[in-house]
Structure 1
Amino acid sequence: MLVTGFPAAAFGTNCYVLAPGAGQECLVVDPGVGVLDRLAEVLREHRLRPAAVLLTHGHLDHVYSVTPVCGAHDVPALIHGEDAYRLADPISTLDPSLVGMLEQQFGSAAAWAEPDDVRTLVDGERLALAGIDLTVQHAPGHTEGSVMFTVDDVPDGLRVEDAAAPPTATTLSGDVLFAGSIGRTDLPGGDHAAMLRSLRDVVLPMPDDRLVLPGHGPATTIGRERASNPFLLEVAR
């Protein structure tokens, strides 16, 4: 599986592109702020054609570029039903000073239009898109509709330092799980108790050899997080 990840221009949000290989259809995951030029480079370099945009949740830093990406390639945006309302206008929920920062950085007024084709996901749903099979895992806490996407494959040429065994599957964890931490739960729609349940019931049962590609920061594995992530250690007691 071909996987390319790169950080957005603001907030350090990871955007991922997944494909069975070069010259094929692909999936774009969480296109955040200022990713359009870099995404276009990745698509050209590997001769990829987007088939859909997957969203781990509806916060602006993960969806800022979803509409232009979907519009340019005439593809749908997929998001859990409980976060779909956020695509109506995520900019309106931001502090005005943050909107001003975005406008200053990118030289234009922050504007928003909802994607024309939004499709909602449910927990446990199996997706077959762009030649890739994924499972949707609802893991609320960061937002009501936060999800993780699991693929029974790993990136080509992957090397994970300190991994006890080579990974056999990959989970795109959004802002549910980071290397050494978790997503914050103090924003509107966040729920710390729900997050702890998601960690206990959704994350902890995953095998140690699962590769984790988070919404922010470096890749990790479930085994590494099980042994050292303070939030997983808390719910494992």
Structure 2
Amino acid sequence: MLIETLVADAFGTNCYVLSSGPGAECVVVDPGIGIAPRLDDLLTDRGLKPVAVVLTHGHLDHTFSVTPVCGANDVPAYIHTDDAHLLADPAKGFSANMMSLVGTGLDWTEPDDVQTLADGGIVELAGMRFTVDHAPGHTAGSAMFHTGDAEGLYTLTGDVLFRGAIGRTDLPGGSDAAMQETLRTKVLPLDDAVVVLPGHGPATTIAAERARNPYLKRAAGAH
């Protein structure tokens, strides 16, 4: 599996491009603010053809470029059903001061084709299989996506789990109680070998986070 990472200028959001290799179909995950030009260059350089945009949740720093990317490639956007409303009105997911960081006068349009996902669903895209794992806490509709091949297992965690940290739970739709349940029932059971591809910051592994992430240690102690 070929995994390319582009980091958005704003908020340091990771945009991932996953494919079976150069010249293949691909999936774009979380195209953030200002990412579209560099994404176009990467797709051209690698000869990749997007078949879908997958969104880990509905926050604007992860969805800002979804409509132009979907429109330019005539592909659908996939998001968990509980965050789909944020594609119609992204301001509902941010506080007023967070929206001010994005900028006023946002000219927002929803993607033409939005496919909603449910917990446990399996989506086959670009020759890869993604299992949807509803993981609320950061937002009501946050989801992790599990995929992999013979060489490794990968989980796109969005803003659920980072290296040494977790996503904040104080924005609209967030819940500390839901996050604790997600960590306990969805993250901790994952195999140690799983490579974590987070929404911000460097990649890590479940083994590393089990050993050093204070939030996972807290969740484990709540068993």
Aligned to 1:42: 42
- Identity across the alignment (%): 57
Q: In structure 2, the residue corresponding to 1:40 is in which secondary structure?
A: helix
Q: Does the 8 Å CA contact 2:75/2:113 hold for their aligned counterparts?
A: yes
Q: Does the 8 Å CA contact 2:91/2:99 hold for their aligned counterparts?
A: yes
2:128 to 127, 132, 137: 132
Q: Does the 8 Å CA contact 2:86/2:93 hold for their aligned counterparts?
A: no
What are the superposed Cα offsets for residues 78-118 of structure 1, whole Å, 9 maximum, x if unpaired? 000000011112146555665555449xxxx5210000000
RMSD: 1.6
Structure 1 position 117 matched with structure 2 position 113? yes
Q: Distance in 1 between matches of 2:199 and 2:53?
A: 15
Q: Does the 8 Å CA contact 2:25/2:126 hold for their aligned counterparts?
A: yes
Structure 1 position 176 matched with structure 2 position 160? yes
Aligned to 1:161: none
For residue 6 of structure 2, what is the amino acid of its counterpart?
A: F
Aligned to 2:62: 62
How far did 1:9 drift? 1.6
How many corresponding residue pairs? Answer: 221
Q: In structure 2, the residue corresponding to 1:110 is in which secondary structure?
A: coil
1:217 to 201, 204, 223: 201
Aligned to 1:143: 139
Q: Does the 8 Å CA contact 2:86/2:92 hold for their aligned counterparts?
A: no
Q: In structure 2, the residue corresponding to 1:23 is in which secondary structure?
A: coil
Q: Distance in 2 between matches of 1:137 and 1:219?
A: 19
Q: Does the 8 Å CA contact 1:99/1:110 hold for their aligned counterparts?
A: no
The 1:137–1:95 alpha-carbon spacing in structure 2 relative to 1, beyond 3 Å, is closer
What are the superposed Cα offsets for residues 21-53 of structure 1, whole Å, 9 maximum, x if unpaired? 111110000001000111011101110010000
Where do 5+ consecutive residues of structure 2 fail to align?
none
Q: In structure 1, the residue corresponding to 2:149 is in which secondary structure?
A: coil
Structure 1 position 27 matched with structure 2 position 27? yes
Structure 1 stretch displaced more, 51-60 or 91-100: 91-100
How far did 1:235 drift? 1.1
Aligned to 1:157: none
Q: Distance in 2 between matches of 1:190 and 1:197?
A: 13
What are the superposed Cα offsets for residues 149-199 of structure 1, whole Å, 9 maximum, x if unpaired? 111238xxxxxxxxxxxx720001000000000000000000000000000
The 1:185–1:101 alpha-carbon spacing in structure 2 relative to 1, beyond 3 Å, is closer
Q: Distance in 1 between matches of 2:92 and 2:183?
A: 30
Q: Does the 8 Å CA contact 2:95/2:172 hold for their aligned counterparts?
A: no
- Where does 1:85-96 land on structure 2 (aligned, <5 Å)? 85-91=85-91, 94=94
For residue 209 of structure 1, what is the amino acid of its counterpart?
A: A
TM-score, length of structure 2 as denominator length: 0.94
Aligned to 1:158: none
